[in-house]
Amino acid sequence: MAADRVAVSLRAVAKSYGGRRAVDGLSLEVFEGELVAILGPNGAGKTTTIEMLEGYRRPDEGRIEVLGLDPVADSHRFRPRAGIMLQEGGIYPTIRVGEAARLFASYFAHPLSPAALLERVGLADKTRTRYRQLSGGEKQRLSLALALVGKPQILFLDEPTAGMDPRARLLTWEIVKEQQAAGVTVLLTTHSMEEAERLADRVAIIREGRLVAYDSPARLRGDSGPELLHAELDAELPSALLARLRQLEFLEAVEDRGQGRYELVSSQPLRAAAELTHMLWQEGGPQLSLLRVGRASLEDVFLSLTEEAGA
């Protein structure tokens, strides 16, 4: 893996649709052979971003380079090197699986063997089946196969495992990891935290067209930092108790997540738990319904970073 060559670079990229800035000053670099997962709520600009990288749209502002090329202006050199998977569709409804694989292979000078590829994605027994008759997961796997047939140097996968059963999802993850091991750069969008944690070297979290976090899943979770104590109560803590908690020196922070949910950040989570339960027992505050020690999950990080302003 050439760890320090940049495969994808976005610099201050903006794209508007009808006055709404879908992507709003996004800068991002992906190294060659790296697998980056783009996370974000619906409408955050994930698909717009990936479609600009695929060469479907030109940014209004900023610069995009993929494999050293401008995906729009250098499309003749870019397209043979990129494999893409649309969020859905993209294949003739009445084409047979085998025909689709051979058709897409015909676009490339040195394609993979269509038969071997269909075998790999588990569609070897479906070559005579029409696309329309495949299940959702099978359609996705055919779409993945078509993305791979030209032996791409970079893969763009827009929600590759959406609608897949668990077995198909595992197979897809395995194939994506194989590609990465072979040095292919991979960008994928997903709503699945599990997918991001399992596959991604780095996770880019986008909100309202802007990058709000970009790091490895472990560092986003804060694995090296202090632990968290999650407490759920049946009511809000009285403000006096909250103030007393906040004065405790071994607590780095007390986050109020609303509706009686609190996060106490500390390198001594058990001590924090003891202090909190003691306080509630003594003062007769709200009832404790859940107490959990642990680090933030990627989902917690995602939710806190993408919370709607004013929600």
Instruction: Report whether 91 contacts 131 (CB < 8 A).
Output: yes
136 binds other proteins (CB under 8 A): no
- Looking at beta carbons only, is 75 or 267 nearer to other proteins? 75
Q: Which of 156, 174, 172 is nearest to 164 (CA)?
A: 172
Cβ neighbour number for residue 267 with a 10 Å cutoff:
12
The distance of closest approach from Cβ of residue 119 to other proteins in the complex, given in angstroms and rounded to an integer, is: 21
Torsion angles phi and psi, residue 120, rounded to 5:
-60, -40
Q: Tell me which of 11, 151, 177, 198 binds other proteins, using CB under 8 A.
A: 151
User: In Å, how far are 166, 266, 279 from 101, measured between CA atoms?
Assistant: 24, 55, 66
Binders in 183-242 for other proteins, by CB under 8 A: none
Nearer to other proteins, 152 or 269 (CB): 152
Question: Stretches 77-85, 212-220, 248-256, 291-299: which one binds other proteins (CB under 8 A)?
Answer: 77-85
Binding window for other proteins (CB under 8 A); candidates: 75-83, 115-123, 164-172, 281-289: 75-83
> Looking at this protein, which amino acid is placed at residue 84?
I
Considering only residues 109, 166, 239, 284, which one is a binding residue for other proteins as defined by CB under 8 A? 109
Is there a contact between 93 and 131 (Cβ–Cβ < 8 Å)?
yes
Task: Please choose, from the candidates 34, 8, 77, 3, the residue with its C-alpha nearest in 3D space to the C-alpha of residue 185.
Answer: 34
Which of 76, 166, 258, 308 touches other proteins (CB under 8 A)?
76
Q: Does 54 bind other proteins (CB under 8 A)?
A: yes
Chain length of the chain: 311
d(CA 141, CA 56): 22
| Single residue of 81, 177, 210, 261 touching other proteins by CB under 8 A | 81
Q: Which residues on neighbouring strands pair with residue 24, listed in sequence order? A: 14
List residues bridging with 65 in a β-sheet.
9
Q: How far is the CB of 130 from other proteins (least distance, A)?
A: 9
**How many other C-beta atoms lie within 10 A of the C-beta of residue 217?**
20
Counting contacts by CB under 8 A, is residue 70 touching other proteins?
no
Of residues 188 and 196, the one with the C-beta less far from other proteins: 188
Q: How far is the CB of 34 from other proteins (least distance, A)?
A: 19
CB 30 within 8 A of CB 6: yes
In angstroms, what is the minimal distance from the CB of 63 to other proteins?
20
Per the structure block, which two tokens stand in for 286? 């709200």
Q: How does strand 253-258 pair with strand 210-215?
A: unpaired
Among residues 61 and 99, whose Cβ is nearest to other proteins? 99
Smallest gap, in angstroms, from Cβ of residue 84 to other proteins?
Answer: 5
Give the nearer residue to other proteins in terms of CB position, either 107 or 281: 107
The answer to whether residues 271 and 227 touch, using CB atoms and an 8 Å cutoff, is: no
- Does 153 interact with other proteins (rule: CB under 8 A)? yes
Q: Judged by CB under 8 A, does residue 88 bind other proteins?
A: yes
Q: What is the binding site for other proteins (CB under 8 A)?
A: 54-56, 76-77, 79-82, 84, 86, 88-95, 99, 102-104, 106-111, 146, 150-153
